């Protein structure tokens, strides 16, 4: 058994990896991080420096999958042999004239879209221009190397690195370049997606909340709705299904068919709106929305629980009814009746335990997912649970949140599947015998 569970667990890893990869591709290959940053920071007075720092803080400046080199912005005259030094890496040159022409947009765009090291060739240049240059560059906080300075700009000695010759320059650039395993770890994918596998959720892009903490805080409100809804729903579904199956083909069954079919045909959003309208707005039995902890919170969860039960009820009844029907037709049931057993004892002692098997498979998968809450219900009733959290993350294009929640959802699904298999083996003696 242990062996089996272990095998299933290991199989879950590539699955989760794949899920992560898909969300990552959707988020970082469709839109650039700069665009998303602008959206989060808003429109007014957003200086490119602010955007750059914002990205840097959240490490969105890193390359996607492979961080081999930083690109170099070379400002000033580039001299013969230096060209070979840069031939192996992406580099841009900007002449002093361009820079002094006070059109910083080229420079800013470059910094925003690439990991850049700025090297400035300080030879033949007046101290005033150097000052002007540094005033423009320093607020960015990007690495700046001063090459061949003819006059010491001592004031910036700790920020700007100096290179007296080519070897030194090369060495400086190399210290700023990732080495070995860093090429893999200093990437967006590793920092933002891979680390999820170790439950390192990080911080929300938009609200700056600790996502791990947030998940812990929000799981309880979610469970307060999903757990009662699940239990009540299961109880109602199974008992109603049993009732209908028992009266199969007769009036109650036909009425049941009519009602359940009608209920299935209605979309779940309608249940939310209708129940909200009838019970909150018209009858004023329940608060319109909100949440509270402890005893004072009960009035807030009654309606969402009711809606959640009503939404899943009809489908559940139909499904369990088929299971029961199949069982009712079996030979052992006829034998039991023929032997003169009473109806209740046939139903509860013989049929129910046998139907438990598919019921277990169907329900155990769902149990871990209860933590995830329900998207629309929580959002609509302003329940501070994980479902609402996910939906807000999606609406805000907050990768950190959506990535974490997708991963968590996938993880809980895998856990659910494993649990099902274990339970299956536990409930069904045949599985154990076969082993």
Of residues 65 through 104, those in contact with another protein by CB under 8 A are: 70, 103
Of 32 and 362, nearer to another protein (C-beta) is 32
Beta bridge partners of 74: 93, 119
Taking Cα atoms as reference points, which of 50, 99, 53 lies closest to residue 75? 99
Closer residue to another protein (CB): 189 or 380: 380
First to last CA, the chain: 9
Give least dist CB 95 to another protein, A. 19
Query: What angle (nearest 5°) sits at the alpha carbon of residue 327, between those of residues 354 and 341?
Result: 80
Indicate which single residue of 19, 24, 61, 387 sits in contact with another protein (rule: CB under 8 A): 61
Q: How far apart are CA 262 and CA 251, in angstroms?
A: 17
Applying CB under 8 A, does 153 fall inside the site for another protein? no
CA distance 393 to 409: 14
User: Each residue of 53-84: b (16+ CB within 10 Å) or e?
Assistant: bbbeebebbbbbeebebbbbbbbbeeeeebee
Nearer of residues 78 and 209 to another protein, judged by Cβ:
209
Print the binding letters for residues 391-430 with another protein: x by CB under 8 A, - otherwise: -x---x----------------------------------
Q: Is residue 170 a contact residue for another protein (CB under 8 A)?
A: no
If one asks whether residue 155 binds another protein (CB under 8 A), the answer comes out as yes
Q: Tell me which stretch binds another protein (CB under 8 A): 53-61, 336-344, 417-425, 426-434.
A: 53-61
138 is a site residue for another protein (CB under 8 A): yes
Closest contact distance (angstroms) between CB of 297 and another protein is: 11
Number of residues that bind another protein (CB under 8 A): 78
Q: Which residue has the tokens 């359940």?
A: 260
Instruction: Collect all residues with Cβ–Cβ distance below 8 Å to 174 and sequence separation of at least 6.
Output: none
Tokens matching residue 195: 């680390």
| Cα–Cα distance for residue pair 307/271, rounded to 1 Å | 6
Q: Tell the smallest beta-carbon distance from residue 130 to another protein (Å).
A: 13
Please identify, using beta-carbon distances, which residue of 59 and 168 lies nearer to another protein.
59
Tokens matching residue 38 = 């602008």
Smallest gap from residue 50 Cβ to another protein (A): 5
Task: Give all strands (DSSP E) within 57-155, no chain letters.
Answer: 71-75, 91-94, 116-121, 144-147
Whether residue 290 contacts residue 385, with contact meaning beta carbons closer than 8 Å, is answered with: no
**Nearer to another protein (CB atom), residue 27 or residue 413:** 27
Q: Which of 384, 390, 395, 387 is nearest to 289 (CA)?
A: 384
Give the residue, chosen from 218, 318, 321, 350, that forms a contact with another protein under the rule CB under 8 A: 218
* Alpha helix segments (H runs only) across 145-283: 166-175, 182-185, 188, 211-246, 251-265, 268-275
143 binds another protein per the rule CB under 8 A = yes
CB of 98 to another protein, least distance (A): 14
Q: Which of residues 190-209 bind another protein (CB under 8 A)?
A: 203, 206-209
CB of residue 414 to another protein, shortest distance in Å: 27
| Spatial distance between the Cα atoms of 211 and 202, rounded to a whole number of angstroms | 6
Task: Identify which of residues 173 and 359 has a Cβ nearer to another protein in the complex.
Answer: 173
**Hey, which residues between 255 and 314 contact another protein (CB under 8 A)?**
280-292, 296, 299-300
From candidates 175, 180, 198, 340, binder to another protein by CB under 8 A: 175
Q: Nearest to residue 271, comparing CAs of 239, 299, 318, 303?
A: 303
Q: Which stretch binds another protein (CB under 8 A): 75-83, 176-184, 307-315, 338-346?
A: 176-184
Read off the DSSP letter of residue 190. Answer: I
Nearer to another protein by Cβ, of 136 and 428: the residue is: 136
Residue 19 or 219 with smaller CB distance to another protein: 219
DSSP state of 124: T
Q: One symbol per residue from 238 to 257: x for binding another protein (CB under 8 A), - otherwise; what is it?
A: ---------x--xx------
Residue length, the chain?
A: 435
Please identify which residue in 6, 31, 164, 334 interacts with another protein, judged by CB under 8 A: 31
């Amino acid at each position: 058994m242990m062996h089996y569970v272990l095998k299933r667990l290991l199989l879950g890893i590539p699955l989760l990896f794949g899920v992560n990869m898909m969300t990552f591709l959707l988020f970082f290959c469709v839109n650039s991080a700069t665009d998303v940053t602008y959206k989060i920071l808003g429109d007014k007075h957003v200086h490119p420096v602010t955007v750059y720092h914002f990205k840097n803080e959240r490490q969105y400046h890193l390359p996607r999958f492979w961080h081999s080199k930083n690109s170099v912005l070379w400002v000033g005259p580039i001299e013969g042999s230096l060209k070979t030094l840069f031939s192996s890496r992406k580099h841009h040159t900007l002449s002093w004239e361009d820079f002094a022409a006070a059109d910083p947009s080229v420079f800013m765009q470059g910094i925003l879209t690439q990991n850049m090291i700025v090297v400035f060739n300080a030879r033949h240049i007046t101290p005033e221009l150097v000052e002007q240059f540094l005033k423009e560059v320093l607020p960015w906080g990007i690495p700046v190397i001063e090459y061949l300075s003819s006059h010491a700009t001592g004031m910036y000695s700790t920020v700007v690195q100096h290179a007296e010759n080519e070897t030194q320059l090369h060495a400086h650039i190399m210290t700023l370049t990732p080495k070995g395993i860093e090429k893999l770890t200093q990437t967006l994918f590793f920092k933002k997606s891979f680390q999820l596998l170790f439950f390192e959720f990080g911080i929300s892009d938009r609200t700056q909340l600790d996502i791990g903490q947030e998940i812990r805080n929000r799981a309880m409100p979610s469970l307060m709705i999903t757990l009662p809804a699940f239990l009540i729903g299961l109880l109602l579904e199974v008992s109603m299904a049993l009732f209908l199956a028992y009266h199969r083909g007769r009036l109650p069954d036909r009425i049941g068919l009519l009602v359940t079919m009608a209920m299935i045909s209605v979309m779940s959003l309608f249940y939310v709106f209708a129940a909200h309208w009838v019970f909150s707005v018209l009858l004023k039995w329940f608060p319109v929305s909100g949440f509270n902890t402890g005893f004072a919170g009960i009035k807030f969860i009654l309606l969402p629980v009711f809606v959640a039960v009503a939404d899943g009820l009809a489908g559940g009844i139909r499904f369990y009814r088929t299971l029961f029907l199949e069982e009712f037709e079996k030979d052992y049931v006829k034998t039991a009746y023929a032997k003169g057993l009473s109806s209740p004892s046939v139903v509860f002692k013989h049929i129910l335990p046998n139907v438990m098997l598919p019921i277990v498979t169907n329900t155990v998968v769902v149990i871990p997912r209860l933590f995830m809450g329900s998207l629309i219900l929580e959002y609509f009733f302003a329940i501070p649970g994980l479902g609402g959290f996910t939906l807000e993350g999606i609406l805000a294009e907050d990768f950190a949140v959506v990535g974490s929640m997708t991963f968590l959802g996938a993880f809980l699904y895998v856990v659910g599947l494993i649990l099902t298999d274990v339970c299956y083996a536990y409930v069904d003696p045949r599985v154990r015998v076969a082993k």
